[in-house]
């Protein structure tokens, strides 16, 4: 009983303080009418949230074109002959993909566990066995190939699972084909930031400088065959929409009695 009396007393004092504070200060309101954020049930252990498109759940390759020579083993897909692409096309997106470098580790440099995640079929986030395997920095795991290295090397040993979580902003093009705004990527490797809103200079070829060429607003995700049996699992993607709000009036202030006034 004593405890609850004391609690009730302090709670009353707290409400009094909050009320005083509220009366004293004007509240700022931005005048924007927002669309209510959708409810999404998060996934368990890196699994897909309720609004994700599942691209590979360990069972079949039905979401992919060109996968005739890739196989599934123990819930993972194993890179085989030929690149594979999603049947669906994506623009701005959040992509989750898990991958594991081949065991035993064979080859060196770019020849060890090489694959790649190509956003929009064009822009490569490198997949490579970069565990105790040196190569050029802007070609190691987590690099935007030939443009920038990852900020750190967060690689797990071959055979263990790596996770990429990628936030992708698609480039925009003008009607005349010129670049309106570049692509941006933010990426985490095993939960560690490796790309922080990096502005891409264009595509990511081996043999010439990067450049932008006008393309569709949405294109498939491509996984690279570089001759190494890299494994993939748990691949899902969410499309990213714009924040939807309508400026219905100018921003204003409101005092504790509900009186409104403009911002000077
Ligand atoms: Mg590659």
Strand partners for 71:
78
Q: Tell me what pLDDT residue 23 has.
A: 54
CATH at 196: 2.60.120.560
Number of domains in the chain: 2
Higher pLDDT, 19 or 45: 45
Distance 62 CA to ligand 1 centre (A): 23
Same-domain status, 148 and 119: yes
Distance 176 CA to ligand 1 centre (A): 32
Distance 149 CA to ligand 1 centre (A): 13
Lowest mean pLDDT among 6-20, 27-41, 102-116, 249-263: 6-20
Domain-embedded: residue 202: yes
Same-domain status, 66 and 189: yes
Count of other CB atoms within 10 angstroms of residue 3: 7
Q: Tell me what pLDDT residue 240 has.
A: 96
Domain-embedded: residue 16: yes
Distance 201 CA to ligand 1 centre (A): 18
Same-domain status, 123 and 214: yes
Same-domain status, 109 and 11: no
Same-domain status, 13 and 103: no
Distance 9 CA to ligand 1 centre (A): 65
Same-domain status, 121 and 249: no
pLDDT tens digits, residue range 142-194? 999 999 999 999 999 999 999 999 999 999 999 999 999 999 999 999 999 99
Domain-embedded: residue 43: no
Same-domain status, 171 and 256: no
Distance 115 CA to ligand 1 centre (A): 4
Please say if the pLDDT value at position 7 is more than 50.
no
CA distances 175 to 120, 125, 183, 202, 210, Å, are 19, 28, 17, 18, 21
Distance 110 CA to ligand 1 centre (A): 8
Same-domain status, 84 and 115: yes
Same-domain status, 113 and 199: yes
Q: Tell me what pLDDT residue 201 has.
A: 98
Domain-embedded: residue 39: no
Q: Are 122 and 173 in contact (CB under 8 A)?
A: no
Domain-embedded: residue 77: yes
Same-domain status, 16 and 72: no
Same-domain status, 211 and 254: no
Distance 180 CA to ligand 1 centre (A): 28
Domain-embedded: residue 44: no
Question: Residue 161, class by beta-carbon neighbours within 10 Å (0-12 exposed, 13-18 middle, 19+ buried)?
Answer: middle
pLDDT tens digits, residue range 21-64? 445 699 999 999 999 999 999 999 999 999 999 999 999 999 99
Distance 57 CA to ligand 1 centre (A): 23
Read off the pTM.
0.89
For 25, the domain range is: 2-34+245-262
- DSSP letter at 111? G
Contacts of 262 (CB under 8 A, 6+ apart): 250, 252, 253
């Amino acid at each position: 009983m004593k405890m609850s009396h004391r609690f009730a007393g302090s709670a009353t004092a707290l409400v009094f303080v909050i009320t005083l504070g509220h009366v004293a200060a004007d509240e700022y309101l931005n005048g924007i009418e927002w669309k209510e954020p959708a409810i999404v049930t998060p996934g368990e252990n890196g699994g897909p949230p309720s609004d994700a498109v599942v691209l590979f759940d360990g069972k079949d390759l039905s979401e992919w074109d060109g996968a005739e020579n890739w196989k599934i083993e123990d819930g993972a897909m194993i890179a085989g002959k030929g690149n594979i692409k999603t049947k669906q096309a994506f623009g701005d997106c959040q992509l989750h993909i898990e991958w594991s470098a081949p065991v035993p580790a064979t080859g060196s440099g770019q020849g060890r566990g090489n694959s790649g995640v190509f956003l929009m079929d064009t822009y490569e986030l490198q997949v490579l066995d970069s565990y105790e395997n040196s190569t050029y920095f802007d070609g190691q795991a987590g690099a935007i190939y030939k443009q920038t290295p990852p900020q750190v090397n967060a690689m797990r040993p071959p055979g263990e699972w790596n996770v990429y979580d990628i936030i992708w902003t698609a480039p925009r093009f003008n009607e005349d084909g010129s670049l309106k705004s570049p692509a941006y990527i933010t990426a985490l490797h095993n939960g560690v930031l490796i790309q922080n809103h990096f502005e891409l200079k264009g595509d990511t070829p081996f043999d010439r400088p990067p450049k932008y060429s006008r393309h569709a607003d949405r294109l498939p995700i491509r996984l690279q065959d570089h001759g190494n049996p890299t494994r993939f699992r748990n691949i899902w993607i969410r499309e990213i929409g714009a924040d939807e709000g309508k400026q219905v009036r100018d921003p204003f202030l409101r005092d504790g009695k509900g009186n409104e006034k403009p911002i000077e």
